[in-house]
Amino acid sequence: MERWNELENRCRACQRCALADTRTNVVFDAGRRDAQIMFVGEGPGENEDLQGKPFVGRGGQLLDEMLSLIGLDRERNLYIANIVKCRPPQNRDPLNTEQDACIGYLEEQVALVKPKVIVCLGRIAAMRLIKGNFRITREHGQWFERDGVWITAIYHPAALLRDPSKRPETFADLREIRAKLKQVCTEGYI
């Protein structure tokens, strides 16, 4: 609790990059801090910046629908955070320098949550957490193991809103995620 408060306060006061100048709110996290599964997005959009919570816009609504397809609920069994905690202007991709400045917060979040499974939402998160040359069109749904944590990536909800033809592949990925959770999570967790 103490460590969470200290981390969150430090992050909320952060001035490590220029995104601090244009943010309305730092978007720190949502969900359970003792979750066994963590979802990681790229960075806040306009609604998230205004409300201070991750995935609250149309993409967030789609994410909740995707989660419910596999029996997950963001308050009940997930933790959600982003690679960068402040909104990039015009929703551009976060720059590498901005990601570098911010990634330490996510690393501390992961160390405190200790998830068994991490799901990257989209290319930016996958390139940061899985490998720099990650190709989302080819490698979504594949599993990578890092220090005993299983990591995979699926299309970002915003990509699914733009291109609904990607939804069946994502549904297949979600079913695989459900199977992985059944293998690795504590009995009764999902």
Q: Which residues bind ligand URA (CB under 6 A)?
A: 27, 41-45, 48, 54-55, 59, 82, 121
Beta strand pairing call for 30-31 and 79-82: antiparallel
Both structure tokens of 180: 């992985």
Q: Which of 44, 25, 125 is nearest to 89 (CA)?
A: 44
End-to-end Cα distance, the chain: 24
Question: 7 vs 63, which CB is nearer to ligand URA?
Answer: 63
Q: Which is nearer to ligand URA, 23 or 189 (CB)?
A: 23
Minimum distance from residue 111 beta carbon to ligand URA (Å): 21
If the CB atoms of residues 25 and 189 are measured against ligand URA, the closer one turns out to be: 25
CA-closest candidate to residue 102, choices 5, 1, 45, 18: 18
- Residue closer to ligand URA by CB (options 55, 155) is 55
Between CA 188 and CA 15 the distance in angstroms is 41
Q: Least Å distance between CB 182 and ligand URA?
A: 26
Residue carrying structure tokens 């991750």: 54
- Could you tell me the smallest distance in angstroms from the CB atom of residue 35 to ligand URA? 16
Report which residue type is found at 42.
Answer: E
Using alpha carbons, select from 49, 57, 109 the residue that is nearest to residue 78: 109
Q: Which is nearer to ligand URA, 33 or 182 (CB)?
A: 33
Query: Least Å distance between CB 18 and ligand URA?
Result: 19
Q: How far is the CB of 42 from ligand URA (least distance, A)?
A: 4
Q: Which residue is nearest to ligand URA (CB)?
A: 41
